[in-house]
Amino acid sequence: MQAPSGIISALWTATDADGKIDDALLRTQVEFVIRGGVSGILALGSTGEFPHLDLPVRERLLHRITELANGHPVVANISDVNPRNVRHLARAATAAGCAGVAILPPWYFPLSQADQQAFFLDAASATPLPICLYNFPERTGNRIGLETIAAVARNARVTSVKQSGAEWTYHHELIALGKELGFAVLTGSDTRLDEALALGCTGCISGLSNVCGELLVEVCKTVPAGDTARTAQLMSWLKRVGAACGKVHFPMDVAAGMRARGLNPGAPKQIVSKATEAGMAAVTAELIPVLREAGLIA
């Protein structure tokens, strides 16, 4: 797999009321994001709510999503607090024919940078697949430092780093290090995609691709083409989508956006209050005219 670029969909994973994977909805969502023009799929990412899925389900999903992707590259998020599970998923991703793996640092317990390095290199030893180091400290509580990324990249096949969360300026340092060590930087900030591309990011691992991937894919074309007017229009729609979705918590915001596109996100994997259900309904209603204006729904 070459260094990833473009829009990689952080795929939504639909379940039924019993918490089982809904294969029909999974197929529909894979087909939807591919039809929107994404360059690849991230399976079992944060948007896919992987912590709610047990290890056998995650392993089966890697095979099924790769099958449904029909040749489109699938990157497997193999993150887990248990390094044995990480190694297991690394081997499963290899067996499933995935194009690469993504790895968050473990969460809950604090971890030194030296321990993070050891963790990532242990995971890398379980698969020949290229690695995307996934930094999302707001979720894990453990930030991947530059020294760790450099050490791992020098000793394993790191082809990309995904930067998510509030620390926007970290993109600058990561891009500079990537130029030195030969890895790409992908942003997780859908609504700042134009800025990220201008900085030197090669693309985005995107949750909003489950809602409006067509807009994101087009931004990846208009920015390098220098079409500032069209980029501004696309980003205006994306920011309005992001602002509306931000009125409910992640990842229920993605589910609300999917409903606005006429997609069924399945049953919630977590307990959802009536207040959140009402908030999601309001977000869906707010998004419909925005998506209509953008030409994504009739």
Q: Is position 280 within any domain?
A: no
pLDDT at 19 over 90: no
Residues in the chain, overall count: 298
Residue 219 resides in a domain: yes
- CATH number reported for the structural domain that contains residue 168 in this entry: 3.20.20.70
**What pLDDT is stored for residue 50 in this prediction?**
96
Entry pTM = 0.96
Contact (CB, 8 A) for 69 and 39: no
Question: Is 134 part of the annotated catalytic residue set?
Answer: yes
> In this predicted model, what pLDDT tens digit does every residue of 255-274 receive, in sequence order?
999 999 999 999 999 999 99
Indicate whether 159 pLDDT > 70. Answer: yes
Residue 239 resides in a domain: no
pLDDT of amino acid 192: 98
Query: From the candidates 134, 221, 247, 269, which is the catalytic residue?
Result: 134
pLDDT digits (tens, 9 = 90+) for 199-248: 999 999 999 999 999 999 999 999 999 999 999 999 999 999 999 999 99
Whether residue 276 lies inside any domain: the answer is: no
What six digits make up the tokens of 47? 């948007």
Rounded to an integer, the average pLDDT of 87-97 is 98
Q: Model confidence over 124-135: pLDDT tens digits?
A: 999 999 999 999
Query: Residue 298: inside a domain, yes or no?
Result: no
Q: Does 140 map to a domain?
A: yes
Q: Is residue 282 part of a domain?
A: no
What is the pLDDT, as a whole number, of residue 2? Answer: 67
Report the domain count for the chain.
1
pLDDT at 33: 98
Mean of pLDDT over the chain: 97
Residue 1 pLDDT exceeds 70? no
The model's confidence at residue 184, banded by pLDDT at 50, 70 and 90, is very high
Distance separating alpha carbons of residues 206 and 195, to the nearest angstrom: 15
Catalytic residue, chosen from 20, 108, 162, 274, is 162
Task: Note down the domain range covering 24.
Answer: 6-225
For residue 266, being part of any structural domain is answered with: no
Catalytic residue list contains 179: no
